[in-house]
Amino acid sequence: MKKEAYNFEFEVYDSIESLPEKDAWLLGQAREVTQHAYAPYSHFQVGAVARLDNGEIVTGSNQENASFPLGLCAERVLLATAASIYPKVPIETIAISYHNDNGESDHPISPCGICRQSLLEYESRVNHPIRLVLGGMEGKVYVIDKAAMLLPLSFTSEDLKS
């Protein structure tokens, strides 16, 4: 028996003000895009904004349904939109923000398990890492170089070949 370890590094900024300018702009847009969320059940509005390699900007927000399992996370709405409008164009960075019904949030959230799997697939289909900029309406901001880092020991298309 031997043990193996997994760890990864990410950047932590005290606030949006200390981010590089391009990331600060993208996170600001993600905060705005929370307003497009349809979240009458969870009261948890999420906004995601991507900068693509060709410079285009694509957005996503969570879209819920009275049949709860039908609800879509902001990240997967964004990925489907990007793939539909700009197929094969890599995503450089996605900023994600959120808030409650009072418009408040003070720490970063990171993508749920399903979205991590979707982000990983997107990275592999265009062969390009996706940076993540994660922050609430205020407070600390995390920057992660590659979405795949959030999903160690992942299941991928390679496994289907075995």
Binding residues vs ligand THU (CB under 6 A): 39, 42, 44, 46, 62, 64, 71, 73-75, 109, 111-112, 115
Which residue, 24 or 46, is less far from ligand THU as judged by CB?
Answer: 46
Least Å distance, CB 147 to ligand THU, is 12
For 142, how many CA atoms within 13 A lie in the half-sphere containing its CB? 19
Q: Output 16 or 94, the one with its CB closest to ligand THU.
A: 94
Positive or negative torsion for Cα 117, 120, 126, 132: positive
DSSP classification of residue 78: H
Smallest separation, CB 75 to ligand THU (Å): 6
Say which of 17, 21, 75, 92 is annotated catalytic: 75
Q: Determine which helix (DSSP H) or strand (DSSP E) holds 90, and give its type and residue range.
A: none
Are the beta carbons of 156 and 116 closer than 8 angstroms? no
| CA gap 153, 58 in Å, rounded | 29
- Residue among 112, 106, 104 nearest 72 (CA): 112
Question: Catalytic site residue 75?
Answer: yes
Instruction: Indicate the residue among 102 and 157 with the shorter CB distance to ligand THU.
Output: 102
Could you give the residue numbers annotated as active site? Answer: 75
